Amino acid sequence: MKEKIIIFDTTLRDGEQALPASLNSNEKIQIALALERMGVDIIEAGFPISSPGEFKSIKSISKIIKTSKICSLARCLPKDIDVAAQAMEHAQENRIHLFLGTSNLHVASKLKKSFNEIINMAVSSVTRARNYTNDIEFSCEDAGRTSLKNLYTIIEAVIDAGATTINIPDTVGYTTPTQFKKIIQSIFRYVKNIDKAIVSVHCHNDLGMAVGNSISAIEAGARQIEGTMNGLGERAGNTALEEVIMALYVHHDVLNKYTNINYKEIYKTSKIVSQFCNMPISINKAIVGKNAFSHSSGIHQDGVLKNRENYEIIDPISIGLNNCKLNLTSRSGRAAVEHRMKEMGYHKSDYNLNELYVDFLKLADKKGQIFDYDLEALAFFKKQRNIEEYFKLEYFDVHTKLSGLSVASIILMCGSQTNIQKASTSNGPVDAIYQALNKATLYPIILKKFNLVANGEGKDALGKVDIVVQYKLRNFHGVGLATDIIEASAQAMVNVLNYIWKSTEVNKRIRKIK
């Protein structure tokens, strides 16, 4: 019979400690709601004694969250414990989380006490916390560097005092999975009353082993995993919960464990945390990174198209991501090109795949990544790819007021004869120019990406503007290069508008052929 692993999320406490700026109360509530929808068992909402704002946020979260248990952190000090309880007085279910350093290093240099004094502090704190709740977690801070004899002694004492969860943190990410597993195994072997408590682990990632240590702890008998979404946390971060959760999911037959997590909320929750915390997710981050389900190698793309399991151990749909992405580059094979043409609605009979692929490789070597409109131009517009651009920006002028409003005027040549003059007012010079260009072309586009990079230094430095816009559910890419960033921005948009025009003309020709 499968055993449940309790998922304890500390994004709002340990995760927030690593942020350059604190989250406000509303941001914390939104993250807590996302964690609740994901099915997290316990949400550590914060450290209420640390500030009035923190206390208020925990109180607000406690009123709103219904299905996840709310937990507050407290040092082994009477006032901390009282404030932690007060902050959660409206929670449906709550837990007080006590922590105290137990390693010789922490006891001697940080706490400056004897180990017997540490035991007495821990026991009296657990006893006090029991006045407020029967759900008490005790953390042996720096357990990874605590002598096993001392670890057994303090664990046994706090369980006798009423602690119901014993947390074994690898506070500085010191141990290896083998070492950590042995620590957990020895606790089960030598702490005589350990059967009266749940063993939890809280691993840090200083050596990149947080997830590995957490999994090894589960194998040794731990039944609660503590961590954060996206691995946020002090220094190198905490255990990334989404990684542990999906490892349990993929290896359910071997580990024989389950969680209450709603897997399809994982991707969305990860993005919410990233957005509110202003902490971008690395593109190669496991499970939720941009490249986690992205394939560039032609061999891999062909294998995925034949059977996703060839190169994907997780179906992206299972975590709430609609599909995988095949990046079209010079490493892509014929299968990926043909697949993308099919997704765009073209049949094999509409074009010559062999000719298209030869031209595709040549262009991919020059350009890097190939977009849909590139494929269409290669397949159907080959003879006219190098024709004169339809849109040309003949003139532009921008004035910006102290209020921030900018007025842009343009003259856009459309074809060989038609000149269109337009003006637009917007917040900022670049947006004003873009609005004027949109008025001139009447293309219903959405700007999806704007990236500015300076090439060189000083007044002669070139500003390279790289943009992606969406037009009729397709992405179009444009680049502009100039010493004036507004001019570079305008060039990039005109570049995009020409690609859209070419794509439109291609589709007209295809419809005539059909």
What's the pLDDT at 452?
86
DSSP codes joined into one string, 57-76: HHHHHHHH--SSEEEEEEES
pLDDT at position 184:
98
Does residue 283 fall inside a structural domain? no
Note down the domain range covering 502. Answer: 391-513
> Is 90 known as a binding-site position?
no
Q: Is residue 188 part of a domain?
A: yes
Pair 367, 396 in one domain: no
What gap in Å lies between CA 96 and CA 58, rounded to an integer? 12
Domain final residue pick, 368, 384, 400: 384
- Hey, is 404 helix, strand or coil? coil
Same domain, 165 and 80: yes
447/424 Cα distance (integer angstroms): 17
Is 424 found in the same domain as 380? no
Q: Is 162 left (phi over 0), alpha (psi -120 to 50) or beta?
A: left
Q: What's the pLDDT score for residue 47?
A: 96
Tokens linked to 468: 């992606």
| Residue where a domain stops, chosen among 384, 418, 449 | 384
419 and 348 in a common domain: no
What is the tens place of the pLDDT at every residue in 415-443?
Answer: 876 778 888 888 889 999 999 998 888 88
Q: Does 408 lie in the same domain as 378?
A: no
Task: Give the CATH number for residue 35.
Answer: 3.20.20.70
Within this chain, do residues 229 and 313 fall inside the same structural domain, yes or no? no
pTM here is 0.69
245 and 345: one domain? no
Residue 322: how many CA atoms within 13 Å on its side-chain side? 0
Asked if residue 369 and residue 319 are part of one domain, the reply reads yes
Is 217:186 a contact under the CB 8 Å cutoff? no
| CA–CA separation, 128 and 96 (whole Å) | 11
Q: How many domains does the chain have?
A: 3
Q: Is 202 annotated as a binding residue?
A: yes
Query: Residues 300, 378: one domain?
Result: yes
Q: Single out the residue of 307, 369, 306 nearest to residue 332, CA to CA.
A: 369
pLDDT mean by block of 10 residues, the chain; 514 residues: 94 89 88 96 97 94 97 98 98 97 90 93 98 97 94 98 98 96 98 98 97 98 98 94 96 94 92 88 84 57 58 72 68 81 72 83 78 70 54 89 84 81 86 90 90 62 79 85 84 89 72 55
Torsion of CA 110, 115, 117, 119, to 10 degrees: 110
For tokens 């290093």, name the residue: 105
CATH of the domain at 505: 3.30.160.270
| Whether residue 372 sits in one domain with residue 236 | no
Same domain, 15 and 75: yes
pLDDT on residue 493: 92
* Residue 238 annotated as binding site: yes
pLDDT for the residue 381: 54
Is 376 found in the same domain as 310?
A: yes
Question: Residue 87 carries which side chain, given as an amino acid letter?
Answer: A
